[in-house]
Structure 1
Amino acid sequence: MNKRTCLYDRHVALGALVQPFGGFDMPIQYSSIIEEHNAVRQHCGVFDVSHMGETFISGEDAERFVNHIFTNDVTGAPIGQIFYGMMCYPDGGTVDDLLVYKMGEQLYFLVINAANIDKDMEWIMTSAEGFNVNIDHCSERYGQLAVQGPEAETVMEEVLQIPCKDLVFYTAKTLNVDGVEVIVSRTGYTGEDGFEIYGSHEYIVNQWDKLMESGRCKPCGLGCRDTLRFEVGLPLYGDELSQDISPVMAGFSMFCKFDKPEFIGKEALLKQKTEGVARRLRGLMLDDRAVPRHGYKVLKDGVEVGEVTTGYRLISVDQSCAVALVDSSLKLGDRVEVQIRKKTFPATIVKKKFYDKHYKK
């Protein structure tokens, strides 16, 4: 049986389409994916992301340990700084992509993907041998909301009374609300300005109710979360990153800090970066309105050269696009075909970002 978030009953009451995702029963859409997508691009949308996993790492070796398991570099970062990066296997394959929040001296908060919680926690625990750290897996204690869109800051300040204007992009702070500790951050997985609120189940339910009663933001499901992140070139684990797709293959070498002394997978990733990889992720723009989907074959002159990881008829730009893992010999501007059922449709290799991000930096 799938798990349910603290907001499950609220989703059912709103008539959401609920489907399994990452081991949870999650809302996919409430009204329509297009309507919810546009609400986030133009106004404000709120997502229940309580299915995400959280863990605290503390202790005298916390910084050294986080740097050991994480491709990015947290050395000497100011408190409140957030980092994006990956945990990798020794061969360079991706365990997961995640956010690391520096919450205090030798105190880090890791946010991991729902479908990977058990695997990630086992990887973190196993990798901790020889480090003096405490690992507090707290996924069951936290609910999480993502308030996203150009009006998100106003909604946070006016509806929820959460002061957040002071937060710059990729920073977080802790608030004490009626004796309850709440973490608020400003990242956004939609390409728009956005905030994340982590708190007790009771607190998150109360905040959700306030947002719904205000009429100032639309409830959004995971359907438009996927269309939003895809348009701006953000990856989804299992599609653009996986055990078989390394950060270098995915085009995320900038989050692998090769100048730090060591991290798991460093040697393999450095070799891939210097010697090249057989396949890498590329964007595709189709000439036609046909919609490519995960797993569809990409051909060049009738020969298979890769396959689609994500594809959509984009909502913000009305164009059929995909990201695909293809032979690295293919360059921007090259012409290929995508096989959709029994027909092939011509496409051009383009950059993976199809719509410009509008973060407030």
Structure 2
Amino acid sequence: MASETSAKPINSPTLARTPLFDLIVENNARLTEFAGWEMPVQYTGLKQEHFAVRNSVGMFDISHMGKFKLQGKDLLHSLQFFVPSDLEKLQSGQAQYTVLLNPEGGIIDDIIIYYQGEDELGEQHGIMIVNAATRAKDKAWLKGNLEASPVNLEDISKQKVLIAVQGPQAAVSLQPFVEADLTPMKAFTHLQTNICGKPSFVARTGYTGEDGFEIMLDPDVGVELWRSLVSAGVTCCGLGARDTLRLEAGLALYGQDIDNTTTPFEAGLGWLVHLESKGDFIGRAVLEAQKKVGLQHKLVGLQMEGRYIARHGYPVVYDEEVVGKVTSGTLAPTLGKAIALAYVPTPLSQIGQQLEVEIRGKTYPAQVVKKPFYRSPTRPSK
């Protein structure tokens, strides 16, 4: 991608824009279509943005993501039916990354649930963040299955801005604008506080493999915070760097690495499945059978020999036969190596297994390696 390309709106009447769109254009972003939105793919350049997050601090406009406000008695108990994770373990101020499942055990979406506690009337409160492309589907699925429950779901996606501030210097850069002390916050915790003097939601979560925060605010406050962070020297980052960062960290992208045909066990997300500590949930029978019988295929990490890049959809070959396909691939800036995620038969999923990837009619060597490809030395623990 050419870093010198300036912002040029796509001008499609069908594409949505976030409340920060004008600021994105001011910051000379190169734009692209993503999940029905006109979004920045890069600003100064993918590598510069990638290393800003790895070594210092960068920020992303992620306002396109779906945001649901949840409220009701027995909220966590009601949500238990939709996910394989035991949500009733959550304490106020904690969050859980998990997945919505269909009856076949397939992943409808990967989500984060932020539990905000119980009020004096016994009502439990929470926030659920979902992917932009699946927001309408998730909303319909949840509402349809919650009709008989006391839970109310309000879609606040268009009412709020969401900004991700990520990197080793994220806390230091964000703190001057936040009333609460960010220092005691552990990973996957959250709180309500004032930012730029206005009520806001701050979570120590992210999608880069680094320390960082995701902040939900009213649009006018979001604009003020974005401008303030730019003035403070925080690097604006686009979808290009977001993709290379998350892939190095071994994080799945919905619609590529996981979808409604893949189960958590197949996708390497077995740590989200709490069969022993919770009751029935959608897809449980399928996951129980997989745990008992085993898997036919798994999502693995691949490292290419040389700098040949395995892209989404490329065939994975073993003994001159196609045995799987690449779901995501890139030249990892931090590692200086070509890496990929791919589904392969379970017998070929062991670390060190030699495979090949077909690229434009020729095959090139690849090796199964441990995920994540990169682990941050400064990311806080839960």
- The TM-score range, normalised by the shorter chain, is over 0.9
1:218 paired residue number: 235
Q: Is 1:229 equivalent to 2:242 in the alignment?
A: no
Counterpart amino acid of residue 86 in structure 2: D
Provide the C-alpha distance between the structure 1 equivalents of 2:352 and 2:34, rounded to a whole number of angstroms: 35
Provide the C-alpha distance between the structure 2 equivalents of 1:178 and 1:246, rounded to a whole number of angstroms: 42
Match of 2:356 among 322, 337, 343: 337
Provide the C-alpha distance between the structure 2 equivalents of 1:267 and 1:181, rounded to a whole number of angstroms: 43
Q: Is 1:40 equivalent to 2:53 in the alignment?
A: yes
How far the C-alpha of 1:128 sits from its partner, in A, is 0.8
Q: Is 1:246 equivalent to 2:263 in the alignment?
A: yes
The question of whether the paired residues in 2 share the 8 Å contact of 1:63 and 1:74 is answered with yes
Provide the C-alpha distance between the structure 1 equivalents of 2:20 and 2:31, rounded to a whole number of angstroms: 12
1:10 paired residue number: 23
2:40 paired residue number: 27
Counterpart amino acid of residue 374 in structure 2: Y
Counterpart amino acid of residue 371 in structure 2: K
How far the C-alpha of 1:181 sits from its partner, in A, is 2.7
Match of 2:128 among 110, 114, 117: 110
Match of 2:81 among 68, 74, 83: 68
Q: Post-superposition, which runs of at least 4 consecutive aligned residues in structure 1 deviate over 6 A?
A: none
The question of whether the paired residues in 1 share the 8 Å contact of 2:178 and 2:194 is answered with no
Q: Is 1:359 equivalent to 2:354 in the alignment?
A: no
The question of whether the paired residues in 2 share the 8 Å contact of 1:334 and 1:348 is answered with yes
How far the C-alpha of 1:274 sits from its partner, in A, is 1.9
The question of whether the paired residues in 1 share the 8 Å contact of 2:178 and 2:193 is answered with no
Tell me the secondary structure at the aligned position of residue 97 of structure 2.
Answer: strand
What TM-score, normalized to structure 1? 0.97
The question of whether the paired residues in 2 share the 8 Å contact of 1:160 and 1:207 is answered with no
The question of whether the paired residues in 2 share the 8 Å contact of 1:18 and 1:28 is answered with yes
Tell me the secondary structure at the aligned position of residue 75 of structure 1.
Answer: helix
Question: Residues 62-211 of structure 1 correspond to what in structure 2 (within 5 A)?
Answer: 62-105=75-118, 106-158=124-176, 163-176=181-194, 180-211=198-229
Provide the C-alpha distance between the structure 1 equivalents of 2:288 and 2:200, rounded to a whole number of angstroms: 38
Provide the C-alpha distance between the structure 2 equivalents of 1:206 and 1:354, rounded to a whole number of angstroms: 36
1:180-225 Cα distance to aligned partner (Å, 9 max, x none): 431101012111110111011111111000011122x100001101
Provide the C-alpha distance between the structure 2 equivalents of 1:62 and 1:174, rounded to a whole number of angstroms: 19
5+ residue gaps, structure 1, are none
Distance change in 2, residues 1:206/1:307 (3 Å)? same
The question of whether the paired residues in 2 share the 8 Å contact of 1:24 and 1:51 is answered with yes
Provide the C-alpha distance between the structure 1 equivalents of 2:328 and 2:196, rounded to a whole number of angstroms: 43
Provide the C-alpha distance between the structure 1 equivalents of 2:367 and 2:41, rounded to a whole number of angstroms: 31
2:6 paired residue number: none
Counterpart amino acid of residue 201 in structure 1: P
5+ residue gaps, structure 2, are 1-13, 119-123
The question of whether the paired residues in 2 share the 8 Å contact of 1:156 and 1:163 is answered with no
Provide the C-alpha distance between the structure 2 equivalents of 1:209 and 1:75, rounded to a whole number of angstroms: 39
Q: Is 1:50 equivalent to 2:63 in the alignment?
A: yes
2:326 paired residue number: 308
Provide the C-alpha distance between the structure 2 equivalents of 1:350 and 1:95, rounded to a whole number of angstroms: 27
Matched pairs, number: 360
How far the C-alpha of 1:16 sits from its partner, in A, is 0.5
1:47-68 Cα distance to aligned partner (Å, 9 max, x none): 1010111112211131111111
Provide the C-alpha distance between the structure 2 equivalents of 1:161 and 1:29, rounded to a whole number of angstroms: 31
What TM-score, normalized to structure 2? 0.91
The question of whether the paired residues in 2 share the 8 Å contact of 1:285 and 1:349 is answered with yes
1:279-309 Cα distance to aligned partner (Å, 9 max, x none): 1101111112111100000000110110000
Counterpart amino acid of residue 14 in structure 1: N
Distance change in 2, residues 1:209/1:21 (3 Å)? same
How far the C-alpha of 1:109 sits from its partner, in A, is 0.7
Tell me the secondary structure at the aligned position of residue 123 of structure 1.
Answer: helix
The question of whether the paired residues in 1 share the 8 Å contact of 2:174 and 2:229 is answered with no
The question of whether the paired residues in 2 share the 8 Å contact of 1:156 and 1:162 is answered with no
